[in-house]
Amino acid sequence: MVGRIVDWNFGERLLRVVCGLPEKDLETGIPIFWITEEETVFRDVDGSWYPLKWKYGDEELQTGDVLTIGQDGKISRNYSADSGEVDIFVTNHCNSNCVMCPLSETVRRQEQKYYLRWLWDFICILPDDVEYINITGGEPTLRKKDFLEILEYLKGKFRYSGFQLLTNGRSLADEMFLEQVLEQTPRGMRFAIPLHASRVMVHDGITQAKGSFRQTDRGIRNLLKQGQKVEIRVVISRKNIAYLTETAAHIVSNYPRVFCVNLIGMEMMGSAAVRREELWVDYPEVFKRAEAAVKILIAHGIDVQLYNFPLCAVKKGYWPLAVKSITDYKVRYMPACDDCRVKEICGGFFASTKHLMKPEVKPVR
Ligand code: SF4
pLDDT tens for residues 52-70? Answer: 555 554 455 667 788 777 6
State in Å: Cα 329 to ligand 1 middle. Answer: 17
Q: Is the CB of 312 under 6 A from ligand 1?
A: yes
Radius of gyration (C-alpha) of the chain in whole angstroms? 22
46 pLDDT above the threshold of 80: no
To test the pocket of ligand 1, the residue of 306, 308, 311, 365 to mutate (highest count of ligand atoms within 8 Å of its CB) is: 311
Of 14, 40, 73, the domain-final residue: 73
In a domain, 336, yes or no: no
Using pLDDT thresholds of 50, 70 and 90, give the confidence band for residue 203. very high
What is the predicted pLDDT for the residue at 316?
A: 95
What is the predicted pLDDT for the residue at 87?
A: 94
What is the predicted pLDDT for the residue at 3?
A: 72
Domain extent for 60: 2-73
Query: Are residues 91 and 69 part of one domain?
Result: no
On average, the pLDDT of the chain sits at 86
To test the pocket of ligand 1, the residue of 337, 341, 350 to mutate (highest count of ligand atoms within 8 Å of its CB) is: 337
Query: Are residues 198 and 259 part of one domain?
Result: yes
Q: What is residue 74's DSSP assignment?
A: B
Q: Is the CB of 310 under 6 A from ligand 1?
A: yes
State in Å: Cα 285 to ligand 1 middle. Answer: 16
Using pLDDT thresholds of 50, 70 and 90, give the confidence band for residue 23. very low
For 101-107, what is the mean pLDDT? 88
Using pLDDT thresholds of 50, 70 and 90, give the confidence band for residue 21. very low
State in Å: Cα 313 to ligand 1 middle. Answer: 8
State in Å: Cα 133 to ligand 1 middle. Answer: 29
State in Å: Cα 316 to ligand 1 middle. Answer: 12
Q: Do the strands 32-35 and 14-19 form a parallel or antiparallel pair, or are they unpaired?
A: antiparallel
Number of domains comprising the chain: 2
Q: Is the CB of 346 under 6 A from ligand 1?
A: yes
For 187-207, what is the mean pLDDT? 97
**Ligand 1 atom 2: residue of nearest CA:** 337
- The Cα-based distances of 179 to 41, 151, 171 in angstroms read 48, 13, 11
For 167-192, what is the mean pLDDT? 97
Q: Is the CB of 331 under 6 A from ligand 1?
A: no
Query: Are residues 138 and 226 part of one domain?
Result: yes
Torsion of CA 287, 288, 290, 291, to 10 degrees: 110
In a domain, 110, yes or no: yes
Amino acid symbol at 361? V
In a domain, 203, yes or no: yes
Query: Are residues 122 and 52 part of one domain?
Result: no
**Ligand 1 atom 6: residue of nearest CA:** 312
Rounded to the nearest 10 degrees, what angle do helices 200-207 and 212-225 cross at? 100
Torsion of CA 331, 332, 338, 344, to 10 degrees: -10
Using pLDDT thresholds of 50, 70 and 90, give the confidence band for residue 348. very high
Query: Are residues 93 and 68 part of one domain?
Result: no
Nearest residue to 103 via CA among 352, 354, 357: 352
- The Cα-based distances of 300 to 248, 251, 260, 295, 297 in angstroms read 10, 10, 11, 9, 5
To test the pocket of ligand 1, the residue of 308, 344, 364, 365 to mutate (highest count of ligand atoms within 8 Å of its CB) is: 364
pLDDT, tens digit (0-9, with 9 covering 90-100), for 246-273:
999 999 999 999 999 999 999 998 999 9
Query: Are residues 158 and 27 part of one domain?
Result: no
pLDDT, tens digit (0-9, with 9 covering 90-100), for 273-292:
999 999 999 999 999 999 99
In a domain, 210, yes or no: yes
**Ligand 1 atom 1: residue of nearest CA:** 363
Q: Is the CB of 2 under 6 A from ligand 1?
A: no
Query: Are residues 105 and 49 part of one domain?
Result: no
What is the predicted pLDDT for the residue at 202?
A: 98
Contact 97, 171 (CB under 8 A): no
Query: Are residues 38 and 63 part of one domain?
Result: yes
What is the predicted pLDDT for the residue at 109?
A: 82
Query: Are residues 27 and 137 part of one domain?
Result: no
Query: Are residues 310 and 202 part of one domain?
Result: yes
In a domain, 341, yes or no: no
| Nearest atom, ligand 1, residue 362 CA | 1
In a domain, 222, yes or no: yes
What is the predicted pLDDT for the residue at 55?
A: 53
Query: Are residues 199 and 142 part of one domain?
Result: yes
Alpha helices in 200-350 (DSSP H): 200-207, 212-225, 244-254, 270-274, 276-279, 283-299
What is the predicted pLDDT for the residue at 304?
A: 98
Cβ neighbours of residue 172 closer than 8 Å, sequence gap 6 or more? 141, 178, 181, 191, 218, 219, 220, 222, 223
Q: Is the CB of 14 under 6 A from ligand 1?
A: no
In a domain, 335, yes or no: no
Strand order in the sheet with 40-43: 49-51, 40-43, 32-35, 14-19, 2-9, 66-69, 75-79
State in Å: Cα 290 to ligand 1 middle. Answer: 19
> In whole angstroms, what is the distance from residue 184 CA to residue 206 CA?
31
Q: How many Cα neighbours within 13 Å face the side chain of 288? A: 6
Residue 18 three-state SS: strand
Query: Are residues 90 and 63 part of one domain?
Result: no
| Dihedral sign computed on CA atoms, order 201, 205, 207, 212 | positive
Cβ neighbours of residue 320 closer than 8 Å, sequence gap 6 or more? none
**C-alpha 215: how far from its chain's center?**
22
Using pLDDT thresholds of 50, 70 and 90, give the confidence band for residue 345. very high
36 pLDDT above the threshold of 50: no
> In whole angstroms, what is the distance from residue 27 CA to residue 364 CA?
53
Using pLDDT thresholds of 50, 70 and 90, give the confidence band for residue 206. very high
Q: Which CATH number goes with the domain that contains 131?
A: 3.20.20.70
In a domain, 361, yes or no: no
Q: Is the CB of 343 under 6 A from ligand 1?
A: yes
Please count the other Cβ atoms lying within 10 Å of the Cβ belonging to residue 317. 8
Cβ neighbours of residue 131 closer than 8 Å, sequence gap 6 or more? 84, 85, 161, 162
Q: What is residue 278's DSSP assignment?
A: H
State in Å: Cα 336 to ligand 1 middle. Answer: 8
Contact 311, 319 (CB under 8 A): yes
> In whole angstroms, what is the distance from residue 53 CA to residue 198 CA?
49
